[in-house]
Structure 1
Amino acid sequence: MSVGEDDVLLRRGVVRVLTDGGLDVVAESGSAPELLAKTLAYKPDVAVVDIGLPPHRGDDGLQVAVELRRRLPSIGVVVLTQHDEPAYAMELIGDRADGVGYLLKERVGDVTDFCADIVRVAHGGSALDPTVVAKMMRPNTIPEQLALLTERERAVLAAMAEGQSNAGIARSLLISTAAVEKHVTSIFRRLQIPEDPAGHRRVQAVLRYITANQG
C-alpha cells in the first residue's frame, strides 16, 4: 500500500502499525504530488491518505484520493484525517462506496481494527467512521428511499454504513448473527438490490443509505 502523510512521525507510526499488522507498504509520501506520482507508479491495493497534504494543506490529499479512484478504479482509498466533515466523505465516495474508507485519526486506537478496516477496503468494502456517518443523518426523518425498511433493518443498515461486520452489528444491537444475516437479506430485497457475483450488494446498500440521508 501507499501512505501519504506530511507529519513524518505520524507517517512512520502509521507505516509501523500497518507493517506490524502484516501489510506491505510500498511507498511513503509527504506531499500530494508525490503521493499521486508514487501511487500511480506502484499501483498498490490501497492508499492511505491525509486530507491536509502540502503544498496547500487544504484538501490536497482529498483531491488526490478522488483522482486515484478515478484513474485506478480497482484501488482502495482510505482517508485518515482529523476532519469529521461529511462533505469530504461524500466527495470521496462519489457515486460508489466500494473500496473507500474515511477514518478519524483520533478514533484509530485499536491496531487490529484499523488493519482490518484497511484490508476490508482493499477487498472492495467500505469503512466509515461512525461520527461522520452520524453527521450525515438528518434527525427525526426517514428518507423516502428507506421507508420500506423496518426500524431494525435501518439500524442494521446504519451499522453496515459504519463498516461493521455482521458479528459487530450483532454485538452492538444485542441480537444474534443469524438475525443480522436475515435482516441484511431483507434489506437487499426491500431495496431491490440484485444478486451480484462480485459480492458488492453490501456496498450498494450502504451507498443508497448514505445518499438517501444526504437528501
Structure 2
Amino acid sequence: MKILGKPTSINVRKVLWTCVELGLEPELEPWGSGYRDTNTPEFLSLNPNAMVPVLKDGELVLWESNTICRYLAGREQRQDLLPAEPAARARVEQWMDWQATELNNAWRYAFMSLVRQSPAHQDPAALQAGISGWHRHMGLLDAQLAKTGAFAAGDQFSLADVVLGLSAQRWLMAPMEHPELPAVASWLQRLNERPGFQLHGANGMP
C-alpha cells in the first residue's frame, strides 16, 4: 500500500491518522508543493485533479481524502470507525461530508490570508467575513459536541472525528482571536489521547 502526498498536507494527514487507528503502515511517497509536481502526466493519470493524497492499494487507485479514509476502514472491517448499520453510518458520513463541503469552505479565505500570507487574500472585509464564517461553523461543531458529550457522531470515536479533528486543530492554530468553545476544547483533549492525533494533528502543523 502506498500514499502519494506530502506529510504537511491536512488531507494527507487525515489518511495517515486513519492508518494509525487501523494499525497500517503504508509507504508515503512525497508529492505536492515542495516535492514532486502533481501536474505531471504520471500523477494526472492517477488523479486528474492534480491533488494529494492518492492511495494505491494493489491495482486500486483512489483519490479524495475522506473517500480514502472510508475505504481503509471498510477494508479493515473497522465498524467502530465506520459503522455498517445504515443510520449509524449516515451520522458519521454526515459530519465527514459537512467537514469537506461546509467547514472547509468556511476557513479557506481566512486560512490563506492569515497562515499562508497569500497576497491574493488580503482584502480586510473579505478576511473579516472569512473569520466570522469560520467561527460560526466551529460554533455549530461545538453545539454538536455539547449535545453528544463525547464525539462528533455520538458517544464513540469515528472517522468523523479524524477529519473534523484536523480542521479544528487548524482553527485553533490560526493567528486570530478565538471565541470560547468549551465542547470543542474538551473534545480536542480527548483526541490528544490518541497516538494518531498526536502524530498527525497536534503536531505543530496547521
For the criterion TM > 0.5, the same-fold answer is no
TM-score, scaled relative to structure 1: 0.28
TM-score, scaled relative to structure 2: 0.29
Determine which structure has greater relative contact order: mean sequence separation of CA pairs < 8 Å that are 6+ residues apart, divided by chain length.
2
